[in-house]
Amino acid sequence: MISLDDVRAAARRLRDRIHRTPVVTCRSFDEATGYSVFFKCENLQRAGSFKIRGALNKLLTLSEIERQRGVAAFSSGNHAQGVALAARTVGTSAVIVMPTDAARLKLAATRGYGAEVVFYDRQTEDREAIARRLAGESGRLLVPPYDDPAIISGQGTVALELFEDVPVLDALLTPVGGGGLMAGCSTVAKGLDPATRVFGVEAEAANDTWLSLQKGERVAIPPPSTIADGIRNLSPGELTFPILQQNLEGILLVSDEEIMEALRFLLFRAKLLVEPTGAVAAAALLAGKLPLGRGARVGVVLSGGNVDPGTLAGVIREASPLPQRGRGLR
């Protein structure tokens, strides 16, 4: 368990090392949903997602010996970039274990931050075992993606900033993958105002936390297929799950079609590029899944914006016949 004070300490540590991301409102989104929605724009965060918060908070607590040995992580996505940038920021080295078929943009970004990338075959090798072996051999500290108090506290600073800008919220929604973001944010929401109702959002196909909350214990699912690649976890974390159990009103589930619709709405109406995972909480609102009355004040974490051009082009193409018409007008 972590406390509000842990998150406050993380915020002091992170200050001036990360962006204080803006909170944006969009009247057409409010009109479409009937809520008063405040978007916390972690898609505008350094390295493109909230992940830098937890990673940097963790790395800022390294001892001098640990810093000299460096860190390691396994991730094909935003955690890779977060750890790579955090390592550069604190002046240590990072080795990131990524699948051979990782998106080239993410690979390039991770290397761009100065990290060394070690590949593994997604079909035949176990990335966690590789990273552990690698960490063991070299003495590097393994930076876990969510199941770590320093990571959870760092992610919680998202909600701390949001509540500083918007002190009263009836509800707070974030995506839920391993649960690090939500464990931190829900600790802040409940700590600052216990009346805040906190909802996690998962993709229908990746409903491990929804199932786990139903059953009252951590449940594992087979590898899910969803466009929301940041929350394809098989089960909630050991540390994060009890926190979610305690703080969450429940989990809302959204389909890939609803996620893509939300991505397009945020792009063309709010002018924000959000990755599919980052759009799930907005999708829950647009699809009418939040069980609150009209006019409620809702905080929504747009968790990241790292989407590759091919995926984005695909999402835009599926958007009604408008692209066809538009092309002729160019």
Using CB under 8 A, list all residues that contact its own copies. Answer: 19, 22, 24-25, 27, 43-44, 46, 48, 101, 103-105, 227, 264, 267-268, 270-274, 305, 307-314, 316-317, 319, 322-330
Smallest gap from Cβ 29 to its own copies, in A, equals: 12
Burial class for 204, CB neighbours closer than 10 Å (0-12, 13-18, 19+): middle
Measured from the CB atom, the residue of 136 and 326 that comes closer to its own copies is 326
How many residues belong to the chain? 330
Measured from the CB atom, the residue of 246 and 268 that comes closer to its own copies is 268
- Active-site residue (options: 75, 93, 153, 303): 303
Name 200's bridge partners. Answer: 174, 251
Please name the residue ranges forming H helices in 27-148. 27-33, 51-59, 64-69, 78-90, 104-112, 127-138
Measured from the CB atom, the residue of 180 and 278 that comes closer to its own copies is 278
Q: Please indicate whether residue 51 is annotated as part of the active site.
A: yes
Residue 300 corresponds to which amino acid? Answer: V
Measured from the CB atom, the residue of 31 and 217 that comes closer to its own copies is 31
Q: Please indicate whether residue 271 is annotated as part of the active site.
A: no
Smallest gap from Cβ 305 to its own copies, in A, equals: 4
Beta carbons within 8 Å of 36's beta carbon, 6+ residues apart: 25, 30, 295, 296, 297, 298
Q: What kind and span of H or E run contains 330?
A: none
CB crowding 110-126: b at 16 or more within 10 Å, else e: beebebebebbeeeeee
For residue 247, give Cα distances in angstroms to 188, 240, 293, 323.
10, 11, 21, 42
Smallest gap from Cβ 151 to its own copies, in A, equals: 22
Measured from the CB atom, the residue of 211 and 316 that comes closer to its own copies is 316
Determine the Cα–Cα distance for residues 147 and 151; give it in Å rounded to an integer.
Answer: 7
Q: What kind and span of H or E run contains 46?
A: none
Measured from the CB atom, the residue of 22 and 136 that comes closer to its own copies is 22
| Sheet of strand 94-99, all strands in order from the earlier edge strand to the far edge | 116-120, 94-99, 71-74, 141-142
Measured from the CB atom, the residue of 165 and 238 that comes closer to its own copies is 165
Smallest gap from Cβ 136 to its own copies, in A, equals: 31
Determine the Cα–Cα distance for residues 160 and 308; give it in Å rounded to an integer.
Answer: 30
Smallest gap from Cβ 219 to its own copies, in A, equals: 27
Read off the DSSP letter of residue 100: T
Beta carbons within 8 Å of 207's beta carbon, 6+ residues apart: 221, 224, 251, 253
Smallest gap from Cβ 149 to its own copies, in A, equals: 28
Smallest gap from Cβ 132 to its own copies, in A, equals: 26
> Which residue has 């919680």 as its token pair?
156
> Which residue has 């079609």 as its token pair?
257
- Active-site residue (options: 51, 58, 106, 190): 51
Give catalytic residues, as residue numbers.
Answer: 51, 303
